[in-house]
A and B are shown apart, each in its own frame.
Chain A
Amino acid sequence: MSLVGARVVRKEDPNLVAGRGCFVDDLHPDGTVFMMFAGSPEAHGKITAIDVREALETPGVLGVWTAHDFAEFPDLPQGADGFERPVLARDKVRWMGEPVAIVVAEDRYVASDAVNAIDIQVEPLPAVVDVLAAAEGDEALLFEDHGSNVITAVPANDDLERELAKADQRAHLEVRNQRCAAAPIEPMAVLADWKPDGLTMWATVQAPHHLRNQLAAWLDVAQSDCRVIAPDVGGGFGSKIVWYPELFAAPLLSKQLGRPVKFAQTRQESMMQMTHGRDQAHSLDVGFNRDGTITALRMVVSQNLGAYPDPTGLGLPVLTTWMAAGCYRIPKVSVSFRTVVTNTNPVAAYRGAGRPEAAYSVERLVDLVARCTGIDPAEVRRRNFVPPGAFPYEVPHEQAVVYDSGDFGQALDMCLKLLDYDAVKERRARQRFDPEAPLVGIGLSSWLEIGGFGPNGSLEGFGHLGSWESAHVRIQPDGSALVFVGSSPHGQGHKTTYAQIAADALGISFDSIRVVHGDTEAVLQGVGTMGSRGVTTAGVAVHNAANLVLDRAKKIAAHLLEANTADIEVSDNAFNVRGTPGRAVAWSDVAWASYQPLSLPEELTAGALEERLYQETPNFTYPSGCYGCVVEIDRQTGEVDILKYVVVDDCGTVINPLLAEGQVHGGVAQGIAQALYEAVDFDADGNNLTPSFLTYLVPSAAELPDFTAGRASTRCPNNALGAKGIGESGAVGAPPAVVNAVMDALADFGVDHIDMPLTSEKIWKLLQVAEQ
């Protein structure tokens, strides 16, 4: 039986459900001391004094460090030239909470006391938090020498004004894709233990080798003496591939103090110190004919980078503009963007990273076209889809973007069927003029995203060693297998997924395969888990490496059985000779023989059943799908209730439907949360108004619906598994379905758009205005 495609429960779970997982803060070597940051009390200003005397006098405090203690060390890696982020704020602070000083103490309580005792004097400067205000004004300049808050600007080749004017009709929309926090339930945590023979660092990160590479260079030590381990990682969603200061300061202080140094954020610290995601403003124009066909699209993106340009932050609008046209064949597309610093947390990847913003805008526009033309939104989508025969499809505005495969109509049809589209439309009509009944709205989202990062060159720009992923398959002498992968998970279930792939390829039972990841000393080299790449890179690497091992195992089996290699088949932990029942040798015997030169055919040597592979990939993948949402809105309170949420995904080959379903649910939950609840807010002075789960509203089980799932499937033509990836799909596709549904419900109230999150307060106010 093939395990690829089978619903297999996870190898990870017996530990995790028993409380026997191992997260960074669970580790506590003897002598561990605790490190904590003192953050800036102002969003913008000049540091005039840092008084640490009282902190130093606190019993149990080992020391306090400020920027000048790091003078001999570089700024954090991969900053943009001239805009590098220091380990600790130097002279100037650029967002509230920016780390200014470090305390190390015997435990976290004492460290907290000492942090509170540090007096950081800041002469405030005007602050700016809004991306458009920062781009267009100059009263608050984060980097004075630069003379502007705009860091990069990529103009349009052609603003398409003529094409837009030529269309039967045109429409304009300004949207904000609000700032969100990834908010993994495990905040950042690091444990650094620098012993005389080298550094071992446990960190809750998505890419341990990537960190090892940067950290060894920063510390100026050999990579061989710098071991990074990502143990169990409690969620990441893009926020744990960022160069946070604790990743560099903790090992250094461990060396200085001769003690293991632990850093483990509180939630408030996490909200104030970790990067945020999204935060784009879009100015959108669309030209279309009376029949609903879209002829031209213009997208102008302003990306809020926060206080310092993060390399992935700088890349976000690139991905957004690449995906501007979504799954539609729009002949003329104009894109441009600028990236802008503000007095807020730095912005980096958050699940989807640039693609949710694109999907949101184009899906809002398609609904606007439907509204303007009076054509059903489903029909407008259908009339504009890239047709199934057009793949590979190169978008008109960006050569790097070649959609691999898809059948957007198939996904839409299935979504409409699962929604029971005609019936819900009837219900909407019935309740429309009944003041006693809630308003009903229906929203669709035909989304497309980029996964499978990526082809050579795509990740190197972000400082990665490569864009490949590694797999290393080793058959043990007893016929069990170890599979080492460079992709290190944060909840995805790599131990299960890759074991399924390896079991199918090797003919070794799932239970006899152990997947190893997350340790730079155990795993060859690796890139990491992000960009929906786990299956399409590492999974394909495991598949291909396992097949190479199997080829050699068959030669050994043939040698032992005195048969032709071509006649050897493998199944159920044994090699058989085709057409000769009973002539068989167990995998364990082949494995044992593989380490005994006297048992091997001439062309093989001991240890032959081991393969190391750096899997390259020729193109990105393009997961797609259609989501549908039905909402009811309470006319008295403005509260949105999701009656039905349909998810139809096309991720190509599914390795494990249980885990794929989990990925979609989790992503959709984050997307619904963005649509209805979550926003990181700052006041005009840069005070973070949402530094906790009391104010940053991560939804609970009570707020979220059950999902009705269907599946479309088009194979990815560019890898051996035919897989496209599914990690980010839900977060990309979900918000526009919800917002389109709410705007549909409010269609009679004379408003084309309100920005996320669509809180009951915003909707209630709108209903009040309409009533008057």
Chain B
Amino acid sequence: MSRHRVALTVNGQDRTAEVDARLLLVHLLREKLRLTGTHVGCDTSNCGACTVLLDGEAVKSCTVLAVQADGRTVTTIEGVSGPFDGRSAVQEGFRQEHGLQCGFCTPGMIMAATDLLRRAPDPAPQSIRQNLKGNLCRCTGYEMIVRSVRWAAEH
């Protein structure tokens, strides 16, 4: 198997790694860079638990090869912060509106919501539902996630 050297910026820091060609970005993040906030919940790109920002846009990091991230910028949940006791409005919205229960899908959900609010700062509830349909949550039934994103839009 061919080995490749990748250099990328993760949460503002320059990182390099020696990786197999087949290594997924999510495993580079979790296992080589030890950024375990990004989770894996499926193997078919349905659940979105692995969502990160790649050059500012939400991607499912289980569907990106680590080598494809070479020279690019990645933001993971660990790189998200803001004025609410260190939390961003999206993170704080999830806390205020009980947008999470077990918390496993949450980092991916927050990254997808962050991407949505960047594109559409004031989305209607139906638009939030449509835009987050690539992220599955088994605990909340989603209404409180919708409220969480609205909270973020309003703050």
Residues of A within 8 A of B (CB): 9-10, 12-21, 23, 25-26, 28, 107-109, 183-187, 232-235, 237, 266-268, 490-493, 658-659, 661-662, 665-670, 692-694, 698, 700-704, 706-707, 730
Contacts and interface: CB of A to CB of B under 8 A. Distances in A.
A662 B146 CA distance: 13
B42 A267 contact: yes
Interface in B49-92: 49, 76-78, 80, 85-87, 91-92
B102 A233 contact: yes
Interface in B125-155: 125, 128-130, 132-146
B103 A491 contact: yes
A700 B135 contact: yes
A692 B42 contact: yes
Given A13-B94, A109-B23, A234-B104, A693 B44 contact: yes
25 contacts: A19-B35, A19-B78, A23-B36, A23-B39, A26-B30, A107-B31, A183-B138, A185-B47, A185-B105, A235-B139, A267-B41, A267-B42, A267-B44, A490-B102, A493-B101, A659-B98, A661-B98, A666-B139, A669-B142, A693-B44, A700-B135, A700-B142, A701-B129, A701-B135, A704-B141
Contacts, number: 186
Nearest to B100: A16
Contact of A701 (B35, B76, B77, B128): B128
A666 B141 contact: yes
Contacts of B43: 266-268, 692
A701 B106 contact: no
Contacts of B92: 17
A17 B104 contact: no
Given A17-B95, A18-B87, A669-B141, A267 B102 contact: no
A651 to B, nearest CB: 16
Given A15-B103, A19-B107, 7 more contacts: A17-B91, A25-B36, A662-B101, A694-B46, A701-B132, A701-B135, A702-B129
B80 to A, nearest CB: 8
B25 to A, nearest CB: 14
B22 interface: yes
Nearest to A734: B141
Given A14-B95, A19-B77, A20-B37, A700 B138 contact: no
A662 B44 contact: no
Q: How large is the interface on B (under 10, 10 to 19, 20 to 34, 35 or more residues)?
A: 35 or more
A21 B142 contact: no
Nearest to A351: B138
Contacts of B36: 19, 23, 25-26
A17 B140 contact: no
Contacts of A706: 125, 143, 146
Nearest to B108: A185
B10 interface: no
A18 B77 contact: yes
Name the residue in A187, A693, A730 with the highest tally of chain B Cβ atoms < 10 Å from its Cβ. Answer: A693
Nearest to A271: B42
Given A12-B103, A14-B87, A665 B143 contact: yes
B17 to A, nearest CB: 14
A183 B31 CA distance: 24
B110 interface: yes
Contacts of A14: 85, 87, 95
Contacts of A184: 102, 104, 138
A18 to B, nearest CB: 7
A702 B133 CA distance: 6
Contacts of A233: 102
Contacts of A666: 101, 138-141
Nearest to B147: A706
Nearest to A32: B31
A207 to B, nearest CB: 16
A16 B144 contact: no
Contacts of B78: 18-20
A686 B38 CA distance: 35
Contact of A662 (B49, B76, B96, B139): B139
Given A16-B106, A17-B100, A700-B136, A185 B49 contact: yes
Contacts of B20: 109
B138 A10 contact: no
B119 interface: no
A701 B103 contact: no
Contacts of A704: 129, 141-143
A137 B134 CA distance: 43
Nearest to B126: A702
B147 to A, nearest CB: 9
A28 B33 CA distance: 12
A703 B132 CA distance: 11
Nearest to B46: A693
A25, A233, A658, A706 interface centre (most CB from chain B within 10 Å): A706
Given A18-B77, A235-B104, A186 B41 contact: yes
Contacts of A183: 138
Nearest to A696: B46
Contact of B140 (A12, A662, A702): A662
Nearest to A668: B141
A136 B31 CA distance: 51
B101 A698 contact: no
B141 A665 contact: yes
Nearest to A490: B102
A511 to B, nearest CB: 13
B137 to A, nearest CB: 7
